[in-house]
Structure formats: C-alpha cells, structure tokens
Amino acid sequence: MSSDITVVLAHGAWADGSSWGKVIDALEQTGVRAIAAPLPLTTYEDDVAALDRTLDHVGGPVVLAGHAYAGGVIGATRAPNVRALVYVAALAPDEGETIADVFGRGTPHPQAPALTPDAHGLLWLPDEAFANAFAPNATPEEQARLRALQRPISGACITVPVGRPLWKDVPTWYLLATQDRMIVADNQRFMAARMNADVRSFDVDHTPSVTAPEVVTELLLEAVRKVA
C-alpha cells in the first residue's frame, strides 16, 4: 500500500508507545508510516501539547488514533493535518465533559480495578489488574511486560472539561471492544453512537493493540484508504 498519510498512535493511561509495537510493525509492512506520540500523562494540557508537537513533527496528512484515555486527547488537537480519527476502545468526552465523566459512566465491570491516587496525585494500576482487566487476553509474558512498563496517570489529566472535540469535524472510526473490562462495551457503544462514528465491533479486550493487533491494523488501514 502506497500512501503519503502517516498513522499517529497515542497511548492510553498505564502504557507507553511500546503498547502499539505490533501495530506499528504491521503498518510498516504494508508501506504505511507509523509513529507513536509520547504522552507525559502529567496534565491534560501537557498531553495535548505533546501530541501537537508530534503532529507538527510529522507535517504531512495524518490518521490519528487513540487508545482508552488518549481518546480524550486526540479529540482536543486542532492540528490542521489530521484527516481522520480512530478510537480504539477509547474515551470520547463531548464539549464540557471531563474524561473522568465518561470513564465513570454506567456500571463498571466486576473485575475493573479500584483506583486511588497516591500521595503525589498519581493513579497506578494494581499489579493484578493487567491480567484481570487491562489485557486479560495477553500472554503472561505480555502482561508482565505491560505491568513493568506501566506509567501512572495524574488526576489532572482526567478532571478538565474539554472543548469542542475534533470528532465533530473529521471522519471518525471506533473499534468497540466487546470484552473490555476497563471501559465496558455499553459505554463504548454510547460514545461511538453520539460521535456518529463508523463502528467495528470485535470480541477483544481493552488492549487489542497487544492482544489482537491484526484487527486494529485493518481498521487503521481502512481509515487510511478512505481519506488518502
């Protein structure tokens, strides 16, 4: 596949760019350039600014994807080179909402972890949550790696009301993870419907970039083909 479009991938909470590693490899094998945007997870404003720096670095047209928390970040950019958004089991706050508002909507999964900020205001995922909720379909080795590489998220990332989201202005896709124990499927379905997103449902867990990279890659390629 030949395209001048770059796929930019924004990681969620408790992860880093390596969570997209399998997807990046698969995209590169098809001839599509991919880059992971490093988010500091310190404040919402910091994360949006970091994403914007990556988009400025890329320069050319972009299909922008976000996982989980990063859905709120990709919706906040105003970078003119973003041609489409792809939400991967991601949160999609509307104008005036916070990320915490949409994360806490509805009844949580029974195995969703309890989250309490530490003395520094950071939220860490409990060790057992990587196998129980974050990536239950991953191998034990992958779960151990995710646990070792986790990056905590500050409460300041999820309590800021967002502005007009970009999904109101550009084509948007949504990968709905029906086995998600962090953001339950009903919540994802609600967010995708009000975005009028092009929805693809798969029997995958919360972190399909690790556990089902082929379905994530195909959705990203679909977006690339549509806007190329």
Average pLDDT, the chain: 97
141 assigned to some structural domain? yes
Q: What is the pLDDT of residue 131?
A: 98
Q: What is the pLDDT of residue 3?
A: 74
Q: What integer is the mean pLDDT of 112-123?
A: 96
**Residue 1: band (very low, low, confident or very high) from pLDDT cuts 50, 70, 90:** low
**Beta strands of the chain (E only): which ranges?**
6-10, 34-37, 62-67, 82-88, 122-123, 153-154, 172-177, 198-202
Q: What integer is the mean pLDDT of 76-92?
A: 98
Domain count, the chain: 1
Residue holding tokens 């309490």?
116
pTM of the model: 0.97
198 assigned to some structural domain? yes
Q: What integer is the mean pLDDT of 181-185?
A: 98
142 assigned to some structural domain? yes
1 assigned to some structural domain? no
Residue 107 has pLDDT above 90, yes or no: yes
Residue 124 has pLDDT above 90, yes or no: yes
Residue 165 has pLDDT above 70, yes or no: yes
**Residue 2: band (very low, low, confident or very high) from pLDDT cuts 50, 70, 90:** low
Range of the domain at 43: 6-227
Q: What integer is the mean pLDDT of 64-78?
A: 98
101 assigned to some structural domain? yes
52 assigned to some structural domain? yes
Residues 6+ away with beta carbon under 8 Å from 226: 84, 171
Percentage of the chain modeled with pLDDT above 90? 98
138 assigned to some structural domain? yes
> Comparing C-alpha atoms, which of 196, 150, 193, 200 is closest to residue 175?
200
Q: How many CB atoms lie within 10 A of CB 91?
A: 30
74 assigned to some structural domain? yes
